[in-house]
Amino acid sequence: MSLDRRAVLKLGFAAGCLAGGTAGLRAEEVAPVFASEAQQVPYRFRRRDVSYETAEPPGTIVVDTPQRFLYFITGPGTATRYGVGVGIRQKLWSGEAVIKRKAEWPVWHPSPERLAQFPKLIRYEPDGMPGGADNPLGARAMYLYQGDADTLYRIHGTNRPTGIGRRVTSGCISMLNIDAVHLYDRVPIGTRVVVLPAA
């Protein structure tokens, strides 16, 4: 039995992804999501279950901006901890919000500031950059709202794994794509998000 090139690529993609566990990945992802990207991140910023004392109830997301960690509260004194990239100092945001929209391989609309910095991005307006390997929002995005107002901040994947654990974003919370997929499937619409202020 012969396999065409597309089938071979799919098998290779599946093998590469499954090497690190892929709960939440779809059979037809737009682009590869590799668990091995975690190897590009310092060990302390790799996903793990930890002890975490907080007054927040299970199901809440707490972003510890100074430490570059996102905690998904799983029970009294316990959480899943993810390393994240956060905003550069002049772009930091803190407060409370609610996830009101979620998207797989989201479309990215460059901000006016980004368009001024990189005029070539104008080609993605008005429809935005389609989801894919080059899209800075990565594999998944969770959109943060205060009431009915979009804060314009997101928790999302990234195409720059080396930014995890650093101040590199325009204010959003970035995660490894494999971690964004993991969190995305655990949090429903309406999840409360608490972003702690920078020290």
Contact (CB, 8 A) for 35 and 15? no
Type of residue numbered 83: G
pLDDT confidence band for 58 (50 / 70 / 90): very high
Please, where are the H alpha helices in the chain? 5-18, 112-117, 177-184
Span 24-40, pLDDT tens digits: 676 678 898 989 999 99
Q: Please give the pLDDT value at position 62.
A: 98
pTM, two decimal places = 0.83
Burial-class residue 174 by CB neighbours within 10 Å (0-12, 13-18, 19+). buried
For residue 185, how far is the Cα from the chain centroid? 12
The CATH code of the domain at 5-195 is 2.40.440.10
Extents of the domains making up the chain? 5-195
Q: Check whether 19 has a pLDDT greater than 50.
A: no
Listed in sequence order, the residues at least 6 apart from 5 whose beta carbon sits closer than 8 Å to its beta carbon are none
Instruction: Give tens-digit pLDDT for 153-175.
Output: 999 999 999 999 998 877 789 99
